[in-house]
Amino acid sequence: MVMYAYRDKARKVKVLARNALKEDKGNRFYCPNSLCDAHMYIVIKEGVSASYFAGRGHLDDCFYHSKSNSFRPANFNEHEFDFNNALMALTQKGKSQSNKLTSDKHSSGPVVPKPLRTIRQIYDMCKSHDCSDTYNGVTVGQMLLSDDSAKMYTSGVEGWRLIESQRKLPKFYVLETMEIHLIAPVAKKKYTFILKFTDAKLFREIKDWIYANRYHIFIVAGDWSSSNSANVFSAYISAKNQLTMIK
């Protein structure tokens, strides 16, 4: 689901779903993807707070197509979501990060929504919202560094963050130091992000995985800190759950 859209084709007037009025229900809105001419419309369900935008005519590879983004607000407990703790949990080796919602196996009642857990769930939530919107009181743009939220990072990227990135060219890894180098945001390429490893096997697996998917976008969860070089930040990677790929 998409939590914002634009009122005009030039995409100058942004409309948040939670602020949309019922009289907007019959109006045509525009997809956040400027390359996609999908016809977006407001869906009001169980009150304005549960509103969202749906669309028809999306490009097949548009992220805001329902096939690409599986975020459904009603499936998750927003009020129990703690961004820093969720990203910290991704670093735990061997920790299961199932995308399926589960309830107590001894309960015969309905499935109880859980907070977002996996990196893909958190990323989809962030992309569904405008970067200035909030999720459980945290500004979405302060959770995800992307081209949309880059304007919020005038002094760098530190602390727990998701980054939307690509491999750095001409060479994205350093064997001697077990480092992988990425750049973000994807369009502006302002920052370099260094993924550090203490596990040689994990380093090799992720290096080979990135190479095999080298033309795609990589989402990385890390606790970033600045380096001695300008616009360069690093984080330790200890589990595969800290990365995912967007085709």
Q: Is there a contact between 192 and 163 (Cβ–Cβ < 8 Å)? A: no
Closest alpha carbon to 224 in 213, 232, 233:
233
Report the distance separating Cα 207 and Cα 237, nearest Å: 12
Domains and CATH numbers, the chain: 4-69 (no CATH), 119-246 (2.40.50.110)
The region of weakest confidence among 4-13, 61-70, 71-80, 136-145 is: 61-70
For residue range 198-240, list pLDDT tens digits in order: 999 999 999 999 999 999 999 999 999 998 899 999 999 999 9
Tell me the pTM: 0.87
For residue range 74-106, list pLDDT tens digits in order: 889 999 999 999 999 999 986 555 443 333 333
pLDDT at 23: 63
**186: its two tokens:** 């994807």
By DSSP bridging, strand 138-139 and strand 134-135 are: antiparallel
| Phi, psi (rounded to 5 degrees) for 236 | -85, 140
CA distances from 80 to 120, 202, 242 (A): 18, 31, 21
